[in-house]
Chains A and B, each alone.
Chain A
Amino acid sequence: MSNNFRIDVKKSAGLIDRTQPMTFKFNSKTMHGFQGDTLASAMLANGERLVARSFKYHRPRGIFSAGSEEPNALVQLRTGAYQEPNTRATTAELFDGLTATSQNHRGPLGFDIMSATDLLSPFLGAGFYYKTFMWPAAFWEKLYEPIIRASAGLGSLSMLEDPDKYDKGFLHCDLLIAGAGPSGLSAALAAGRSGARVIIADEDFVLGGRLNAENHTIAGMSGHDWAQQTLAELAAMDNVRILPRTTIFGAYDHGIYGALERKTDHLPHAGDKPRQVLWRIYSKHALICAGATERSIAFANNDRPGIMLAGAVRAYANRWGVATGKQVAIFTNNDSGWQTASELSAKGVNITAIIDPRDTAPRAHIAGATIVMGASVCNTAGRKALHRITLTNGQTLNADCLGVSGGWSPNVHLTCHQRGRPVWNDDIAGFVPGGDLPVGQTIAGAANGDMTLGAALSAGHKAANGIVKELGFTNSRAQVAKADDETFAIKQFWHVTGHKQRAWIDLQNDVTTKDVKQSQAEGFKSVEHLKRYTTLGMATDQGKTSNVLGLAVMAEATGKTIPETGTTIFRPPYNPVAVGAFGGRERGQHFHPTRLTPSHRWADEQGAQFVEVGNWMRAQWFPKQGDKTWRDAVDREVIQTRASVGVCDVSTLGKIDIKGTDAAAFLNKMYSNPFAKVPVGRVRYGLMLREDGICYDDGTTARMSENHFVMTTTTANAVLVYRNMEFARQCLFPDMDVHLISTTDQWAQFAVAGPNARAVMAKIVDKVDMSNDGFPFMACADVTVCGGTPGRLFRISFSGEIAYEVAVPARYGDALIREIMDAGAEFDITPYGTEALGVMRVEKGHVTGAELDGRITAFNVNMNGMVSVKKDSIGATLSRREMMVAENQVRLVGVKPVDKSDTLSAGAHFIAPDTAPTTQNDLGWISSVCYSPHFEQHIGLGFLKGGHKRHGEIIRAWDGVRGTDVDVEIVSPHMYDPEGGLQRG
């Protein structure tokens, strides 16, 4: 197929480069276009009429508009993992080798078997699905819904990972201008010349807005030339940034705008470049110059391929040198339709007729055209492509294209994003912004109802000058570019009545005037109800071409005016934005940062298995040759540690340095147990509550000197505890002399545990009396290690063995772990991971996040005695509420299967023997389990109603989701060395 709808270059060169032909494919057809084409203009040039199917009735659809408002011509662009559903052919830039396929049909596009629904349309009106498909109930999921779902939707995702990259960035400016049409360019010139930092963005790839689609003259040159000259001047200014292919999609708080720049969508391949960039633009002021969008008129069968917006017909002729038909008719209620007729006629396109419901023609003559005033188009013919129209005066005319203009709607979207409500303007028959724009936003040009060229140019110029002056810049003296104002007159004429056919309002969602009337008849009269009941304006175009029409028909049906009927408002985004662009680079391994422990490299060398703990990667266990399962490794690590010595990287625990003369008093507020009198050189276990009395965190805090404490927190709560302590310091106790600094990342810390820990540490630590008297359980000191490296030593134990934690500046962590392993070689030291750590703490009955899950009180873990009643500390008061200390509260217990060969599972619930697993019979749950090599069986910790008094009882651990039900014995949670003699040894 050739470009037989391309207008002769001498008559309309357009903005395409005819020396650069391109080949593309639509479905199986290979076609040709030129550099500068959109997919739509190229398809029209090739005479391609039928390009899509509508959403509900699968009606044949053609290209309707020449911009992002397109409701019909949605295609799947590209193939494989690059497949992109619902792409508007009207904005997709043509590139060589482009591949597009039509969507939403079963069978070929021309013979969509789903179009059978069109025949059933009398039964598929507004909201029909709310009234049926209810019997039998189970059929909804099995039968009705799958059919509806398969028929609904538009294009398909490839279901493959999006292979493209997306970037994000921040931009700052004095003035952001959204839209580079006449008002936007005029504004940018004025603001740029004043020296203000200006960003001007436009969604098109050729800037100039309607100037590229019209035949205007500005300052004695063509509108397009003026736009290019203006852009060249702007490009030469250092203070102006021009963003083509960039849509300002949302207006957010405090002058922040969201923008999407399409970087490589117009290229065959992105290469190593990002596909799109999401900009967050921080503006001191924003000027919305978003123009206006043409809308249609509703008349019978107004949805056929070949029926288009009159402004689009004009745009295709002027910008792309494409005649949208061989016999073009125009149906318009305003002067802009006449513009289309005269310009096409001048380019040699055959205009068969102009039909205008008004009484007086704005022009007397259009070459070759029949002028029919006071009439309308009342029906059309041609299922897959228009070939005939019928007029209300009975006349029938042949036409393969009908350009329709029902007037222009200002693009007020960005003014509505902060709930601003537009108001009706009778003169232009459209909604213009009300007074409630976002702070720091101004609107100018057609978007503000300045519907003519001269008015738009001066509105942009004036607005920009006003804004930059306010921002402290001096206005340049340059005058606004001169242009004439074309005539703009419109009759409020919305739909053609007196027929029984369907007349479309929302082309994509197949909402017709009948649906609107039915909605009204059923009581869905509020505009919001109308929208929701009929789905009007909820398609991918968000009603850009249909909302006003729908409102007008509703207003008429209810006997109200349009202002009385009201309007829905717009939400971001102005045009749809790829989810990938919002996600940016934060995906895959980069979804969250990865934190590595100081011994990570060493552990990796040992072949450690790592596990995600928050953002940290921690060694989970250290496999050795011959291990059959992970359990072999974990068992070995536990046994070896308990028998001799083991070492574990515990650097991920939160560390907070606390200094000041009030440090002890401050800690006494933060911890529920007494902290005021901790001796220097001693560590104390601390229990921290939330203000609501729930256990928040626990850890040890060491008093290194009179006014210096070092706190440890759990890994998970490191950030939160620090935040809360800063809150207490600044907001609750502002005059306490205390300072806090998080040092989690600054220190590498290792636990060395086991009967031989002392011997190993004696080789590591310099000049410290390591005897039990010299450095007893819960001692701490600033020390040096390995011959002078500064460090800290704590004698604390999580494992229940003799244990030390030694800390050095993080950069020495890797060296220290190697030194410890060397020093421990003679004792067959083992590194151990988080699994072995977990086993030993369960054996010992220590609680962690699995127990302290944000709902557990000190009472629940049998530690309420630690909550001092002699002082006021965070959470103490509310921890004593009646229900929180009631007898039937759950209490921490240990649990062992009665049959030693049984396994336990965390998440199982406790129930009494001979009861059913019901909510009423629920006695508690198991929070942690492990296989204990020491006890040679599974053990666990859990919470049981009144559990502290039930040691020795046999109950059931029921785990319905895993299908197990195990008899268990309730025991003390302190299973290993309950007296604690070992760790003190």
Chain B
Amino acid sequence: MIINHPLLGPRDANEFVHLGDVSMIDRPDGMDADAAAKFHDYLYLRDNPAGEYRELWYHEAGDRSWLVVTRDTLTHAISSVELARDVARTRGRSK
């Protein structure tokens, strides 16, 4: 596969490490009252879609960017690649 890195252009997927669902960005707050249940759902349950999937890849053999790749799990077609940091901010993460 080829991932079109937003900063570096097309790179072979072999340079990257795959983590999983973009929802890994949405880490609950451990100080919440029902943190245990939230962390269970966050860490263990998956939509696991057959079709469009937003996922996290890490450019380990490259610039060490975490990326959010939108890829179809039936065809492997990639429709967009974003810097995970930007996506994280849009999902409300800060410090």
Contacts and interface: CB of A to CB of B under 8 A. Distances in A.
A and B, direct touch (CB closer than 8 Å): yes
A702 B79 CA distance: 43
A145 interface: no
Interface string A867-885: 0000111001110110000
B89 A735 contact: yes
A691 interface: yes
Nearest to B87: A731
A459 to B, nearest CB: 26
Contacts of B43: 691-692, 878
Contact of B36 (A256, A872, A878): A878
B39 A691 contact: yes
Given A691-B39, A732-B88, A726 B66 contact: yes
A665 interface: yes
B66 A876 contact: no
Interface string A732-772: 11111000000000000000000000000000000000000
B76 A253 contact: yes
A730 interface: yes
Interface string B63-84: 0111000000001111000011
A369 to B, nearest CB: 53
Interface in A434-458: 439
Main secondary structure of the interface of B (DSSP, over half): mixed
B15 interface: no
Nearest to A665: B95
Nearest to B17: A723
B37 to A, nearest CB: 10
A734 B17 contact: no
A877 B35 contact: yes
Contact of A254 (B1, B30, B35): B1
B36 A734 contact: no
A662 B95 contact: yes
A727 B66 contact: yes
Contacts of A726: 58, 64, 66
Contact of B77 (A439, A665, A876): A439
B40 A731 contact: no
A730 B88 contact: yes
A574 interface: no
Interface in B4-54: 17, 19, 24-25, 27-31, 35-36, 39-40, 43
A282 interface: yes
Contacts of B2: 253-256, 282
B95 A877 contact: no
B76 A254 contact: yes
B30 to A, nearest CB: 3
B7 to A, nearest CB: 13
Contact of A731 (B1, B24, B64, B78): B24
Contact of B89 (A255, A734, A871): A734
A732 B27 contact: yes
Interface string A241-268: 0000000000001111000000000000
Of the candidates A662, A735, A877, the one having the most CB atoms from chain B within 10 angstroms of its own CB is: A877
Nearest to B37: A877
A876 B28 CA distance: 12
A656 B32 CA distance: 31
Contact of B93 (A253, A732, A881): A732
B58 A723 contact: yes
Given A878-B40, A880-B36, A734 B76 contact: no
A878 B29 contact: no
A734 B86 CA distance: 8
Contacts of A735: 89, 93-95
B30 A877 contact: yes
Interface string A675-715: 00000000000000001100000000000000000000000
B19 A727 contact: yes
A732 B35 CA distance: 16
Nearest to A252: B1
Interface in A627-666: 662, 665
Contacts of B31: 871-872
B22 to A, nearest CB: 9
Interface string A7-39: 000000000000000000000000000000000
B27 to A, nearest CB: 5
Nearest to B68: A731
A20 B48 CA distance: 64
Nearest to B94: A735
Contacts of A418: 75
A662 B94 CA distance: 12
A876 B36 CA distance: 10
A427 B91 CA distance: 57
Contacts of A255: 2
Given A282-B2, A878-B43, A880-B36, A731 B84 contact: yes
B12 to A, nearest CB: 8
B30 A876 contact: yes
Contacts of B94: 733-735
Given A732-B93, A735-B89, A873 B58 contact: no
Contacts of A282: 2
Contacts of A877: 28, 30, 35-36, 39
A735 B85 CA distance: 9
A925 to B, nearest CB: 27
Contacts of B64: 726
Given A439-B77, A730-B66, A735-B89, 10 more contacts: A282-B2, A439-B75, A723-B17, A730-B65, A731-B24, A731-B66, A731-B84, A732-B93, A733-B95, A871-B30
11 contacts: A253-B76, A254-B76, A723-B58, A727-B58, A730-B65, A730-B84, A732-B25, A734-B94, A735-B89, A735-B95, A872-B30
Interface of B: 1-2, 17, 19, 24-25, 27-31, 35-36, 39-40, 43, 56, 58, 60, 64-66, 75-78, 83-85, 88-89, 93-95
